[in-house]
Structures are given as C-alpha cells and as structure tokens.
C-alpha cells in the first residue's frame, strides 16, 4: 500500500498570510504514460463532508478559489493557500489515486493565528 | 443538482450486520465508479471500497476485505455496502462518493451516515 504522510499535523496562520501543507507518498504516484500525478487535495470543514479542491496534483476543481494551488511531482507535493481567509479553517487531506487502496494522508488542521 | 444521500446507519452489536445505501441523483449514475469512505470519530479519512460503473469490478481496503460487499443497482441509481462481522473499529461516519472523470479522486460526496458498533 502507498503511505501518505502530511506535514505539519496542524498549522496556525494569520489572516491574509500564506499557508503551506506538504504531502509525501511512499512511492511515486506519477503515471508515466500520461505524465500525470494521481494526487488530490480535499478540504473538510467541521461537521461537513470533504470537498475536492485539487486533482492531478495541480488542477483546481471548478469553483475553487484561485488562492488554492497545488504543486509537486512524483512523491512530494504541496498545497498552498496564498492569502488565508477565515472560511479556509478546515482539515486538509491529500489522497493518492494511483493504486488501490486509495490512501489518504492523516490530515492537517489549519487554524487562524 | 448532483446529490448523494446515504441511509441505513445505526447502532449494531459486535458481530452484527448492516446494509448502507446511497441514492444518487443529478448525473448519469451508471457512467461513474463510486466509492465508500469512512471517518472514525475524531480521526481522518479511510477509503473503504470502490466499484466500477458497470459493477463488474470491485475493490476493498484490507481492513474490510471478506466482511464488506459493495454493489450497485444502476436501474435504481443506488449504491450499497453490505457489512457483516462488524467490529468496534468499524464505528464511523460512512460517506459515499462519486469518482471524478480524472481518476479515482472523488468530486461529489454525500453527507454521510453514522454506524456505531457497540454492545
């Protein structure tokens, strides 16, 4: 199984500042035949279901604000929120969908400083 | 509007069985694979099981293999998971989720149904 490890476990950032969350996979999730990384990011607000933010490691889902961006390739990935808003308080998860079982990272809790 | 609505959760004794359902609407259900994902109280997300659009291919996490069976009825736009030999560690909110066009990431989620395994 591919193990997904996120850092940090929790993060406090001031409003308007940048937030960065890292995700590392135990093996590459880059599919060479199409040069795509099978890595997604989700946001889960308290009491709600998860919401897809990013797929293919760097493509924003429709309707997701452009302050959210994803980067990385192979085994190392980053989710960046360029200017933190109050509504961004949530737990963020990365997920690999390269191979079954489609494992998630343990989550990163993002709070306002 | 694309919607998923889970049902069937509840309190069950260890060793018992339960069947969860997920009613889909607003999209061509048979065209998309579907997943079940669970979240134990205060914990992270765990992918549980997946099924192809036709229902021919199914996939399971090791933690539920042999105990859970995923299925779908495309004529009823409904996804199921039959759970047996339930354990305390199966206690969780169970979400059904639609697989996106971009691979096995999930672009639509239901609100979840709670399963509690306790005596």
List the single residue in B with minimal CA-CA distance to A102: B47
pLDDT at position A98 is 96
Query: Mean pLDDT across chain B, nearest whole number?
Result: 97
Instruction: Assign A48 to helix, strand or coil.
Output: coil
pLDDT at position A67 is 98
pLDDT in tens, B24-33: 999 999 999 9
Which residues numbered 45-104 in A keep a CB inside 8 Å of some CB on B? 48-52, 55-56, 59, 61, 91, 93, 95, 97, 100-104
Across chain A, the runs of DSSP E, i.e. the strands, are 4-7, 10-13, 19-25, 30-31, 36-37, 39-44, 51-55, 59-60, 68-73, 76-81, 90-96, 108-112
Residues of B in contact with A106 (CB under 8 A): 44
**CA geometry: angle B47, B50, B55, nearest 5 deg:** 170
Sign, CA torsion B72/B19/B66/B38: positive
- Checking if the pLDDT of B102 tops 90, the result is no
Looking at the complex, does the CB of residue B73 fall below 8 Å from at least one CB of chain A? no
Going from the first residue of chain A to its last (113 residues), give the mean pLDDT of each consecutive group of 10, the final group possibly shorter: 98 98 98 95 97 98 97 98 98 97 97 97
Place of tokens 């009491």: A47
Which has the closest alpha carbon to A88: A16, A24, A5, A9?
A: A16
């Amino acid at each position: 199984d591919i193990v997904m490890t996120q850092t940090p476990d929790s993060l406090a950032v001031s409003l308007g500042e940048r937030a960065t969350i890292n995700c590392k996979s135990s093996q590459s999730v880059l599919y060479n035949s199409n040069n795509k990384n099978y890595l997604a990011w989700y946001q889960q607000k308290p009491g709600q279901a998860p919401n897809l933010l990013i797929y293919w490691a760097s493509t924003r889902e429709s309707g997701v604000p452009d302050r959210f961006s994803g980067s990385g390739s192979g085994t190392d990935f980053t989710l960046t929120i360029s200017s933190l808003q109050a509504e961004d308080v949530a737990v963020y998860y990365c997920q690999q969908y390269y191979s079954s079982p489609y494992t998630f990272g343990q989550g990163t809790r993002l709070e306002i400083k | 509007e694309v919607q998923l609505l889970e049902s069937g959760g509840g309190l069950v004794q260890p060793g018992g069985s339960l069947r969860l359902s997920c009613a889909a609407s607003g999209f061509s259900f048979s065209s998309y694979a579907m997943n079940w994902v669970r979240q134990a109280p205060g914990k992270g997300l765990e992918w549980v099981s997946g099924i192809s659009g036709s229902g021919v291919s199914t996939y399971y996490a090791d933690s539920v293999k042999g105990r859970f069976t995923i299925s779908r009825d495309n004529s009823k736009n409904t996804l199921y998971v039959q759970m047996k030999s339930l354990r305390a560690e199966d206690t969780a909110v169970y979400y059904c989720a639609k697989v996106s066009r971009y691979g096995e990431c999930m672009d639509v989620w239901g609100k979840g149904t709670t399963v509690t395994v306790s005596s």
